[in-house]
Structure 1
Amino acid sequence: MPEDLPIGRRERLLAALRSRGSVRVRELAAELGVSLPTVRRDLALLADRGLISREHGGASARTSAPERRTDGPRWVVGMVLPSLHYYFPTVAQGVKAVADAAGAKIVLRGSDYDPVVDREQIGLLVARSEIDGLIVAPELRHPQAPEMLRWLDALPLPVVLVERQPPSDFFIEQLQWVASDHRRGGETAVEHLLAQGHRRVGIFGTDNVTGMQVADGWRQALRRHGIDPDEQLMGRTGLFQRDARISAFGDVVERVRKGTLTALIVQPDPDAIALAQRCLEAGLRIPEDLAIVAYDDEIASMGDPALTAIRPAKAQVGRLAMEVLLHRLRLGHDAAPQQLLVRPQLIPRQSSLG
């Protein structure tokens, strides 16, 4: 028996089973353009891996929760994260804490924000017979994102997105997710600065999922208070480092001295600390001349001065993602899909308090 199936054929087999509930060998052979023996071998391999149930003349989707193991971990969960260096390690620690308590094993892989690698790594985990469920954070900013979401939603094992969620207009049947509500985090930062008397509030953030959501919250909060976001300073991170090809620091200083900028939200922490350092070197006072709120709170407390920060509950998001997956593993499809948002927390410090 072959060790694996061609990825495309396996996905088509699993998608057919998920959409119809059961399939016949002759129907699949005609649809896939392969021989009857090839389909039988494919179905036998998928059945051996616990992904489907064999029936006379065909197969059906696995609908019940997997049985608990008696000779090892109760469940084995595959996890694919885009970064194993920043932000996501804390999420992974939260996942592992709940997995350890439940007697589950985590198999971790990285994908480096690459949608092709996402698909490859997730596919490799799905193909492993011992994998009972998945926790994944795929790249959803590329044109193939809808295809990725449909594929994940159709897999015959439970999947929980972590720090990711589909667009609100995208139909989802079984896919679950737990994510930080970064839009609310952006709003919280603005509300804090407005309460300190600021009306000129700019933002510098990443162009990743988190940064875009924080910026959306920033815009919404400003508009709610009658402030035009288009009149505020906005830019991408990486522009305050000394080795940046194009520096935004001069623009910040000019606006501060003209009185058209009094506060900045900066994501992530390293850029916020770089900005604070350069401000002090240029003779600007923090927070008297410029208030700063960092976003992430991994190292913000070590800034000079200590930086106010918005802290996503990364470990809690990981814990909840694992709890949601365990709920589905225990109850099977009787468990209603859960889609949760966790609000980040404001941590006030010297950089924004007058």
Structure 2
Amino acid sequence: MRMHVDQRHELVLKLVRERGSLRVAELAAELGVSAVTLRRDVETLAAQGRVRRLHGSVVWPDGPQVVEAPAAPVAGGPGPVIGMVVPTTDYYFAAVVAGAREAAAARGARLVIGLSQYLPHEDRAQAARLLSTGADGLLLTPSWGHGVPEPGQEEWIARQGVPAVLVERWAPLGSPAAALDRVRTDHAHGAALAVRHLASLGHRTVALAAQESPTAVQLGIGHAAAVEALGLDPAPRSPLEAEPSRDESGRFDRTLEYLCDAVGKHGVTAALVHSDADAIVLIPRLQARGVRVPEDLALIAYDDEVAGLADLPLTAVAPPKRVVGALAADLLLDRLAEHSQGAPAQPRRHVELLPELRVRQSCGAPAGTR
């Protein structure tokens, strides 16, 4: 039986209120409606002021606010101006931007934002726009599919002529951008942290189900390294690794089939799922297929955006997103101060921050266990 539109609206409000923010595509999949229908619902609720729309996501009205780039020139203020180019200001990057904004304000600087929407050619255009309106330096999160540039993709960054810091990205040795300052999360360590915790609970086979993203590459590295170091049995390869899918519904279906098959046929008893929003969607589907969490499949999510708000609170690896943004802004402001004062340049810095594990119920361990 189809759900009445009023019932659907109330369910949307309930889920967004409980979880803080959700991607529109994921919410549509969870409710079993088309993305077009869900977008129409969100537009109606947003017009009533009951939710906020934010770059492909729906957010509870009192959720975090983000800074948008002004159209007018920003030069002429009392302190330096930091231009920050990010793919989006929702989900993961909302906290990164918030950290950068707070650090900038504490030092009398201003932060302005340019959005690339994961369009590679837009990175350069947004950086140029910010510089043309008075930005003194740049914080850059380019739209590099695997977190690192393809050959020639990063050369424009090294030619900007102003201090720049890479944020949650890195460039390989020999790259023109390799000598830039950078601040990022060690996601490989985060994946290994999850595997080690699951192994400590007695699990011998730990699967990885990660959506295609710059984070996923590092998760795969950390997961594989931890499995080998701990002498665990290898899990079957996820279909998303072999053939990534941009289709939200297809991605969930393939991940669901993979995990059910891994549990039923390959002895997998634990999994790391990226992201926690994906995990929230997958758990009721797994349970409908007879795979209980955590009894049959202990689960740890990656990102910890909404993991604690799930019906079954999710154990999650939490990257230090706000601290990443703050340290990147401080590092850029240090470079700007050197430049303005004519002081000797300090050595470039590559800063990696370690995520932390937040234990809840989905892994089967007592909450608070480390």
Give the TM bin, normalised by the shorter chain: 0.7 to 0.9
Partner SS, residue 89 of structure 1: helix
Superposition TM-score, scaled by structure 1 size: 0.73
- Which structure 2 segments of 5+ residues have no match? 1-73, 366-370
Q: Distance in 1 between matches of 2:191 and 2:204?
A: 15
Runs of 4+ deviating beyond 4 Å: 171-174, 237-246
The question of 1:265 aligning with 2:272 is answered yes
Q: Distance in 1 between matches of 2:296 and 2:319?
A: 27
Alignment of 1:135-150 (within 5 A): 135-141=139-145, 145-150=150-155
> Which residue is equivalent to 2:200?
195
Q: More displaced, 183-192 or 137-146?
A: 137-146
Equivalence for 1:90: 95
What is the TM-score of this pair, normalised by structure 2? 0.70
Which secondary structure does the structure 2 equivalent of 1:297 belong to? coil
Q: Equivalents in 1 of 2:101, 2:233: separation in Å?
A: 43
Count of aligned positions: 284
Give 1:67-216 correspondences, 5 Å limit: 72-128=77-133, 130-141=134-145, 145-170=150-175, 172=177, 174-216=179-221
1:292 aligns to 2:292 (yes or no): no
Residue 337 (structure 1) shift: 1.4
Aligned partners of 2:246 and 2:268: how far apart in 1?
A: 17
Q: What is the alpha-carbon distance in structure 2 between the residues aligned to residue 299 and residue 218 of structure 1?
A: 22
Which residue of structure 1 aligns with residue 360 of structure 2?
349
Q: RMSD of the alignment, in Å?
A: 2.7
Q: Counterparts of 1:169 and 1:218 in 2: how far apart (Å)?
A: 27
Give the conservation status (yes or no) of the 8 Å contact 2:81–2:137.
yes
Percent identity among equivalent residues? 36
Counterpart code for 1:296 = D
Unmatched 5+ residue regions in structure 1? 1-68
CA distance in structure 2 between the partners assigned to 1:163 and 1:321 by the alignment: 10
Contact 1:206 1:212 in 2 (8 A): no
Inter-partner Cα distance in structure 2 for 1:239 and 1:279: 21
For the residue of structure 1 that corresponds to 2:152, the secondary structure is helix
> 1:239-288, CA deviations, whole angstroms, 9 ceiling, x for partnerless residues?
99767584332342243234611011110111111121222333432212
- Give me the whole-angstrom Cα distance separating, in 1, the residues matched to 2:128 and 2:166: 15
Q: Which amino acid aligns with 1:318?
A: G
- 8 A contact 1:240–1:274 mirrored in 2: no
- Superposition deviation, residue 296 in structure 1: 0.3
Structure-2 change in CA distance of 1:239 and 1:347 (3 Å): farther
Distance change (3 Å), C-alpha of 1:243 and 1:139: closer
